[in-house]
Chain A
Amino acid sequence: MRDGQKGALAVEVDGVVKNFGRLRALDGVQLRVRRGEVFGLLGPNGSGKTTLIRCLVGLVVPDAGIVTVLGRRLPDLGVLSRVGYMTQAAALYPDLSVQENLRFFAAISGGHHGVDEALALVDLADRRDSVVATLSGGMRTRTSLACALVHRPELLLLDEPTVGVDPQLRAQLWDRFREMTGGGTTIVVSSHVMDEAARCDRLGLIRAGHLLAEGTVTELLARASTDSLEDAFLKLSEGES
């Protein structure tokens, strides 16, 4: 069934506007994410990446525009059981063990029992009984990721998952992301780290609530006629303003 949907869209965002008081966080964002790809949302701090991701799980209700996730127009509580969301900071219950956290998030997302699979994926099977409060920062990040994918979501939203993560673990996490897209999962990942962007299938460059450009790394480099993503980002944002 998943193969049949390949090539279809996992996320469609049309003309989404969101204001926080007088601040316009999203200003008519247009976005397409295809099924089975890793889509990188690239932009500086405060550019609207987190707000956009929170729109995709219904945490932020847009003032205007349409958000469609896995073929369902939001707001739609039901579709959330097919979506995994990893917040910027590791949001876990510190008094529970790794496994207890995973079981809880599995239960509230529809009761799939992918606990063992998720533990193996983040290499924490041997720490399953450790209380989260006693874990290192990197282990908490991995636990948080495991909680986001324990219900085997079709769409995984990762908000800066590798902030504060050492290079070795970062490489390891990206390998995991790749494995998952191989299995048909769509991943939307936000980052302000350029070398990470190069690992994505396609990128969206976002700045001040605008989507400046969208395409593969090669396409974006060609458009800006440069060979560094960092330069491309700067050039494309100049073109905009």
Chain B
Amino acid sequence: MKAQRVLAITRRLLQQFRRDRRTMALLFVLPVLILGLFYFLLRGAGPHPAVGVVDVDQGPLGSAVAGQLEASTTVDASRMDESSAAARLKDGRLAGYVVLPADFSAAASSTGVLRPEIHVEGSQPSQSATVMAAVSQALAGGASATLAAAGATAPRVEPSIAYLYGGPSLDTLDYLGGAFVGLVVFFLVFVITCVAFLRERSQGTLERLMASPLRRGEIVLGYMLGFTLLALVQAAEVLLFALLVLRVHNAGNVLLIFGIETLLALSAVNLGIFLSMFARTEFQAVQFIPLVVVPQVLLSGIIFPVVSEPGWLQAVSNVLPLTYAANGLRDVMLKGADLTWRSVQVDAAVVFAFAALAMVAAAATLRRRVA
């Protein structure tokens, strides 16, 4: 082994990277970007889950517990009446609400048991957990302040818990499952289309296509049909595996899920063709994976709910197609949403519009990549 030869390889490698600005940027800018995103997602000052407090207790305990909740640092609690709390839970403005019934104080002092009613939205296990933790903390705090003064022992808590969607058996996979079904399809279809279209150029056949009577739109459409066909088989497989083998919770229509997956696959194909024009080599195409896929995974609400992001980051999330697809898939699978839901209509329309936009962009930029 000769040091000179080893160093020759090392030096050549560094020389190559010096000419490849994009790889340099990827190496040194992307890590900061991704870690920064994690900071804002995990430690960012996003809003806390909103919780309603319905205090109809005729004794002093209800008001003490409500006060404790309002002072909570983990949820954003406010008092309201039961009907508006129920309505807000339904339209997504509340993550949950707690009802402190009329005999709340009386029952506590006579039987030593606290019986609040807790209502949670239920489709997001982590959010439900936050709400329940905040409520039980407030119960304990309120009880010790009120009852200790009266010399009573610490009461037991026996809440009745109602889930708007899902139920106590809903686990993290159920929550992530719907979005993952979309993500897997989007990710693989995007990468394969991007590399395949690039190969068309690098092997010289694109030049031949452009010298034929083919129109640019015909090339893009042909590609789209081919890859969409493959993507649909894949989407069906992923969906069946998730539902039948992994038994991911599904309360909605399977065909509707498949429909949203199809729109997402269309987006991925067209985005792949469009972005392949910005890569000269397959190496550069692979670099689009961390650039395009990772931020989408983090920001589209698949893992971290979009509502818990800081406002400016939500603005970014709101232009990503995966945000809408994940939201739509989740609504269908967890909440049993159907096409009459306004939110599902919006989600589907946005993903479709993105696919159409990417297709027009792909066709418009095709000319440049031959020359």
Q: Do A and B bind each other?
A: yes
Q: Which residues of A contact B (CB under 8 A)?
A: 54, 57-60, 77-78, 80-81, 83, 85, 87, 89-94, 105, 108-110, 147
* Chain B minimum-CB-distance residue to A78: B213
What is the interface of chain A mostly: helix, strand, loop, or mixed? loop
Task: Name the A residues within 8 Å of B370 (CB-CB).
Answer: 59
Which residues from A are CB-within-8-Å of B204? Answer: 87, 89-91
Closest Cβ of chain A to B207, distance in Å, is: 6
* Chain B residues with CB under 8 A of A105: 208, 212
| CA distance in complex: A105, B210 (Å) | 12
Residues A93 and B211 in contact, CB atoms below 8 Å apart: no
Evaluate contact between A59 and B205: CB separation under 8 angstroms.
no
Binary flags per residue of B186-228, CB closer than 8 Å to A gives 1, else 0: 0000000000000000011101111111110000000000000
Known: A58-B210, A85-B208. 10 other contacts (CB 8 A): A59-B207, A60-B371, A77-B213, A80-B211, A85-B211, A87-B207, A105-B212, A108-B212, A108-B213, A109-B212
A85-B204 Cα distance, complex, nearest whole Å: 12
Q: Which residues of A contact B212 (CB under 8 A)?
A: 80-81, 105, 108-109
Q: Looking at the assembled complex, report how far the CB atom of A8 sits from the nearest CB atom of chain B, in whole angstroms.
A: 22
What are 21 residue pairs bridging A and B, where the CB atoms are less than 8 Å apart in the complex? Answer: A57-B211, A58-B210, A59-B210, A59-B371, A77-B215, A78-B213, A80-B213, A81-B213, A83-B211, A85-B211, A91-B203, A91-B204, A91-B205, A91-B207, A91-B208, A108-B209, A108-B212, A108-B214, A109-B212, A109-B213, A147-B208
- Chain B, residue nearest A88 (CB): B204
Chain A residue numbers with a CB within 8 Å of B215 are 77
**Contact present for B211 and A59 (CB under 8 Å):** yes
Q: What are the residues of chain A within 8 A of B203 when measuring CB–CB? A: 91-94
CB distance from B2 to the nearest CB of A (A): 36
A108–B218 Cα distance when bound, in Å, is 10
- Of the listed residues A77, A80, A92, A108, the one surrounded by the most CB atoms of chain B closer than 10 A to its CB is A108
9 closest Cβ contacts across the A-B interface? A91-B204, A57-B211, A85-B211, A81-B213, A80-B213, A91-B205, A108-B212, A91-B208, A77-B213
Instruction: Give, as a whole number of angstroms, the nearest-CB distance from A196 to chain B.
Output: 22
Closest to A84 in B: B211
